[in-house]
């Protein structure tokens, strides 16, 4: 008698066989490929580097367009075609990135660094976000930062190369140098900040102490110089207003003058610092502005309202302005004496000279950045002498630091005697 086969159970037939160990490994690799982790993480890192660099370039172009389009639309000299608008926006974008233009045969090398701070800050923020989003090894951080730098520098150099005109052009070499300086510094500092690289732990404490105090001294003096510039602008506000009204720029021209004022504000702060040091600055080949020159030789300046702050005369009290640097040195010397009270007098004195040297180096570079020309023969070599500024800052700061640094720490502390001879006990207070 034959036995019938059992009926097929559809539920049993649809059961899925669990994957083997090798299959589970392949599934895990597929998940990593889909989610973008694992072996594809370096590829995603490069993609993010490209995206951040491109976004930064596009945002700076948008900023330039927002400032220039009202001027182009409502100005007297409107572009005749779409290419004219595109060229004007490209010129503004290059100027925003610190690339000096060439007007005819004259090259403007006095760069408005205040405008260049905008792409620097955006690139810093982008590189910091990139490093925080991609926690890879140092090698991939370097590769990603290099990709961002190449994209930024290439875009600036390409814009300078292809934007040519009979009246306005940009030198490719200047575009290359300025874009490398802006991009390399912003990307390096941003990646180190985003990756939480504690470089200060690897630097000797005395070197870090000298670097911070030297940079602080230079920044403190530049802050005082900016306050002096603001006071000078307020005193001459009436003259600046009359000059502005005489230009009659219209509301579209106000945007242009405002952008130039912000751009050249760091330059004028450095000029103010050089004037306070006694080094002064030059306006053209034959005109020097210094507190030790009673009357500045007359010269024709561009109709730019902030230039009203340039002093035309100097009195005897202005000779005391270099004392500000000595006062800053005294404060920094007190800090050295109180922070390094266990060190010998010789070490404190040497560190004081080293701090003054760091501050002098910073003042040299900022003075170098504020030196240039505006194209006109009468306006060639505007700005201070960087070597003279650095030398005077080092000497004056050392004069203030040295006597305060060599004194013992107890010379700056005061032990106050208590005016209460005896403190009543809690029991006596309660009984009363």
Contact at 8 Å (CB) between 111 and 98? yes
Residue with the larger pLDDT of the pair 41 and 284: 284
Kindly write down the DSSP assignment for every residue of 305-361, as one continuous string.
GGGGGS-SB--GGGGGTTHHHHHHHHHHHHHHHHHSTTS-HHHHHHHHHHHHHHHHH
Q: Note the pLDDT of residue 233.
A: 87
Q: In the structure, what pLDDT confidence band is assigned to residue 126 with cuts at 50, 70 and 90? A: very high
Kindly write down the DSSP assignment for every residue of 154-169, as one continuous string.
HHHHHHHHH---SSEE
Taking only the tens place, the pLDDT of each residue in 150-171 is 999 999 999 888 876 666 778 7
Q: Which of 55-59, 72-76, 242-246 has the highest mean pLDDT?
A: 55-59
Q: Note the pLDDT of residue 25.
A: 46
Kindly write down the DSSP assignment for every residue of 80-118, as one continuous string.
SSHHHHHHHHHHHHHHHTTPPEEETTEEB----HHHHHH
Helix (H, G, I), strand (E, B) or coil at 374: strand
Average of per-residue pLDDT across 68-84: 73
Pairing of strands 168-170, 101-103: antiparallel
Average of per-residue pLDDT across 33-59: 73
Neighbours of 43 (CB within 10 A): 10
Quote the CA–CA distance of 174 and 368 in Å, as a whole number: 15
Q: What is the mean pLDDT of the chain?
A: 78
Q: Which of 122-126, 279-283, 306-310 has the highest mean pLDDT?
A: 122-126
Residue with the larger pLDDT of the pair 36 and 116: 116
Quote the CA–CA distance of 50 and 48 in Å, as a whole number: 5
- Please, which residues bridge with residue 107 across strands? 102
Q: In the structure, what pLDDT confidence band is assigned to residue 273 with cuts at 50, 70 and 90? A: very high
Residue 170 CB burial class (10 angstroms; 0-12, 13-18, ≥19): buried
Taking only the tens place, the pLDDT of each residue in 87-114 is 888 888 888 888 877 766 666 778 888 8
Q: In the structure, what pLDDT confidence band is assigned to residue 57 with cuts at 50, 70 and 90? A: very high
Taking only the tens place, the pLDDT of each residue in 316-344 is 788 889 999 999 999 999 888 888 877 78
Residue with the larger pLDDT of the pair 138 and 64: 64
Q: Note the pLDDT of residue 1.
A: 46
Quote the CA–CA distance of 238 and 200 in Å, as a whole number: 49
Taking only the tens place, the pLDDT of each residue in 189-203 is 998 887 776 655 666
Q: Note the pLDDT of residue 293.
A: 82
In the chain, what is the greatest distance between 2 CA atoms, to the nearest angstrom?
Answer: 133
Q: Note the pLDDT of residue 116.
A: 87
**Distances in whole angstroms, Cα of residue 36 to Cα of each of 49, 178, 280, 292, 365:** 15, 36, 59, 67, 44
């Amino acid at each position: 008698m034959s036995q019938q086969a059992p009926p097929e159970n559809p539920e049993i037939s649809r059961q899925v066989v669990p994957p083997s160990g090798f299959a589970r490994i392949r599934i895990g690799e597929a998940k990593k490929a889909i989610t973008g982790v694992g072996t594809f993480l370096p590829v995603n890192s490069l993609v993010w580097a490209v995206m951040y660099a491109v976004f930064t370039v596009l945002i700076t172009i948008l900023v330039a367009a927002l400032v220039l389009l009202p001027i182009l639309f409502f100005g007297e000299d409107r572009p005749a075609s779409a290419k004219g608008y595109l060229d004007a926006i490209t010129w503004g974008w290059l100027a925003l990135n610190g690339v000096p233009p060439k007007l005819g045969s004259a090259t403007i090398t006095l760069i408005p660094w205040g405008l260049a701070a905008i792409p620097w800050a955006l690139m810093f923020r982008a590189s910091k976000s990139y490093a925080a989003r991609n926690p890879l090894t140092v090698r991939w951080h370097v590769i990603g930062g290099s990709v961002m730098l190449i994209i930024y520098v290439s875009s600036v150099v390409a814009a300078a190369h292809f934007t040519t005109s009979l009246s306005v052009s940009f030198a490719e070499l200047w575009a290359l140098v300025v874009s490398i300086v802006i991009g390399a510094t912003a990307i390096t500092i941003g990646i180190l900040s985003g990756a939480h690289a504690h470089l200060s732990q690897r630097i000797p404490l005395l070197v870090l102490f000298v670097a911070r105090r030297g940079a602080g001294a230079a920044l403190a003096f530049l802050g005082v110089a900016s306050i002096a510039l603001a006071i000078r602008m307020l005193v001459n506000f009436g003259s600046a207003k009359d000059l502005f009204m005489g230009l009659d720029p219209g509301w579209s021209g106000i945007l242009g003058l405002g952008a130039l004022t912000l751009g050249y504000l760091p330059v004028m702060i450095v000029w103010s610092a050089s004037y306070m040091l006694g080094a002064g600055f030059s306006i053209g080949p034959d005109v020097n502005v210094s507190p030790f020159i009673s009357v500045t030789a007359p010269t024709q300046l561009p109709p730019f309202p902030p230039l009203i702050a340039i002093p035309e005369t100097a009195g005897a009290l202005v000779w005391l302005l270099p004392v500000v640097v000595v006062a800053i040195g005294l404060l920094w010397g007190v800090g050295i004496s109180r922070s390094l009270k266990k060190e010998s007098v010789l070490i404190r004195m040497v560190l004081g000279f080293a701090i003054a040297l760091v501050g002098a180096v910073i003042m040299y570079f900022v003075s170098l950045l504020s030196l240039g020309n505006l194209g006109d023969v009468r306006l060639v070599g505007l700005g201070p002498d960087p070597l003279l500024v650095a030398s005077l800052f080092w000497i004056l700061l050392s004069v203030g630091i040295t006597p305060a640094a060599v004194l013992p720490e107890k010379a700056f502390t005061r032990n106050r005697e208590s005016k209460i001879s005896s403190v009543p006990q809690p029991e006596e207070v309660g009984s009363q």
